[in-house]
């Protein structure tokens, strides 16, 4: 084991990998015993994953509380059980009557300090059980709320899509924003794409790819570690 290796490794997570997958790959490759990350990305999402190695894993709470920036797309006309395109479609609707003003009104409502519903397919626990496990077992899922801060940096309406860039507080569920916009406008919607661009001062442009980690020697990988 590389007990003397510690610091921060910025990784650009590809689609169809869990955050835990990335941690396991890095742990296996580097032989560093303690590896963790700051802020889960859903398998569908790509972008910046801040990975902590060695004694820096003790700083997990500190880094996890940083503001985050996401780019993404919301699609109108369909909603799913997971609130993104990975899930099972539960409603579809013609959106020819959807007006841009309704979307803009919804964006204004979902700006600043808001209370959002935690998605039923999430790792948040209720009575010791993760909500996604409850959902898979067809159990009654409680409506859990959390307070977050959302700043829409920019957006573009090009129906059926709403493209956006959002800066938000730690723990914000972009899937929840995507679903709630549909509820406010009266037209079903869900998250179509998501990419995390930044966590605090760290930016995805400075991250290494998973391919780099898997195909580089340890010296080159360790040279990318930030202290």
Please tell me the distance from the alpha carbon of residue 173 to that of residue 110, in angstroms, as a whole number. 12
Residue 178 lies in a domain: yes
Q: Does 207 lie in the same domain as 188? A: no
72 touches 63 (CB < 8 A): no
Q: Which CATH number characterizes residue 162's domain?
A: 3.30.2350.10
On whether the CB atoms of residues 78 and 156 are closer than 8 A, the answer is no
User: Dihedrals φ, ψ of 128, to 5°?
Assistant: 85, 0
Q: Which residue has the tokens 């409502």?
A: 109
pLDDT interval class at 3 (50, 70, 90) = low
Q: Does 115 reside within a domain?
A: yes
Spatial separation of the C-alpha atoms in residues 143 and 155, rounded to whole Å: 28
Asked whether residue 170 falls in the same domain as residue 102, the answer is yes
Residue 66 CA to its chain's centroid (Å)? 14
150: number of Cβ within 10 Å? 18
Could you tell me if 126 and 206 lie in one domain? no
pLDDT of 93 > 90? The answer is yes
Whether residue 126 sits in one domain with residue 23: no
- Collect all residues with Cβ–Cβ distance below 8 Å to 25 and sequence separation of at least 6: 210, 213, 214
**What are φ and ψ of residue 69, in 5° steps?**
-120, 130
Task: Summarize the confidence of residues 66-87 as an average pLDDT.
Answer: 95
Residues 204 and 194 in one domain: no
Q: Is pLDDT at 158 greater than 70 in this prediction?
A: yes
148: pLDDT confidence band, cut at 50, 70 and 90?
very high
The total of structural domains in the chain comes to: 2
Rounded Cα distance between 105 and 182, Å, is: 12
What kind and span of H or E run contains 135?
A: helix 131-136
Q: Are residues 13 and 80 located together in one domain of the fold? A: no
* 208 part of a folded domain: yes
- DSSP class per residue in 136-155: HTTPPPP--EEEEEEEEEEE
Within a domain: 227: no
Q: Are 29 and 178 in contact (CB under 8 A)?
A: no
Same domain? For 193 and 207 the reply is no
| Residues facing 48 on adjacent strands | 12
Q: In the structure, what pLDDT confidence band is assigned to residue 1 with cuts at 50, 70 and 90? A: low
Distance CA 66, CA 28 (A): 27
Domain-embedded: residue 1: no
Same domain, yes or no: 174 and 99: yes
Has residue 100 got a pLDDT over 90?
yes
Tokens of 210: 């998973």
Q: Which of 12, 21, 42, 71 is catalytic?
A: 42
* Residue 42 annotated among the catalytic residues of the structure: yes
Tens digit of each residue's pLDDT (9 = 90 or more) over 170-225: 989 999 999 999 999 999 999 999 999 999 999 999 999 999 999 988 888 888 88
For residue 15, what are the domain limits?
7-65+200-222
- Residue 194 in domain: yes
**120 in the same domain as 217:** no
């Amino acid at each position: 084991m590389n007990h003397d290796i510690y610091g921060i490794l910025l990784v650009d997570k590809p689609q169809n990998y869990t955050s835990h997958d990335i941690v396991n790959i890095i742990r296996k490759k580097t032989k560093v015993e303690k590896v963790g990350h700051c802020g889960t990305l859903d398998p569908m999402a790509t972008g910046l994953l801040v990975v902590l190695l060695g004694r820096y894993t003790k700083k997990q709470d500190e880094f996890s509380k940083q503001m985050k920036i996401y780019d993404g797309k919301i699609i109108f006309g369909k909603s799913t059980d997971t609130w993104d395109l990975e899930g099972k479609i539960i409603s579809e609707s013609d959106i020819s009557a959807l007006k841009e003003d309704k979307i803009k009104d919804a964006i204004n409502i979902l700006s600043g300090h808001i209370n959002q519903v935690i998605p039923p397919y999430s790792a948040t626990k209720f009575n010791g059980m993760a909500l996604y496990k409850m959902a898979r077992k067809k159990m009654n899922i409680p409506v859990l709320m959390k307070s977050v801060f959302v700043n829409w940096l920019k957006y573009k309406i090009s129906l059926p899509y709403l493209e956006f860039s959002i800066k938000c507080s730690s723990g914000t569920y972009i899937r929840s924003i995507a679903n709630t916009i549909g509820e406010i406008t009266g037209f079903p919607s869900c998250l179509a794409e998501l990419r995390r661009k930044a966590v605090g001062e760290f930016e995805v442009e400075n991250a290494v790819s998973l391919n780099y980690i898997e195909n580089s020697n340890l010296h080159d990988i360790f040279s990318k570690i930030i202290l």
